[in-house]
Amino acid sequence: MFVQAINPPTVPRGGELLRIAPTPQHSPEMMERLAEALSECWGALGLPRDSPLGPACASCQRPLHLSLMSAWERQHFLQGAIAGTA
């Protein structure tokens, strides 16, 4: 699994991110394992688990983090939510 850290100066200090880029070669099982591994890490480090309110992924039903998406991605997922597919 490859997860890229996005640190200052790319993002403001305190706004660090993890970038995960799934590809068509990643199966749903592989993505589920990544989510489990991240959850284990979050728990081991005692990191907060704030769940955003709003649309969820049509595949896994997990909440979408719209604030981290590009404008195009937000529009795509919000249109899906309106149509009942996200």
* pLDDT tops 90 at residue 48: no
What's the distance, CA 39 to chain centroid? 12
Q: Please give the C-alpha separations between residue 61 and each of 7, 9, 15, in angstroms, as whole numbers.
A: 29, 33, 26
pLDDT-based confidence at residue 7 (cuts at 50, 70, 90) = very high
pLDDT-based confidence at residue 58 (cuts at 50, 70, 90) = low
Q: Is 73 in contact with 55 (CB distance < 8 Å)?
A: no
Q: What is the pLDDT of residues 64-81, one digit of tens each?
A: 677 777 888 778 777 765
- The stretch 49-70 carries a mean pLDDT of 68
Share of the chain above pLDDT 90, in %: 7
Residue 74: helix, strand or coil by DSSP?
helix
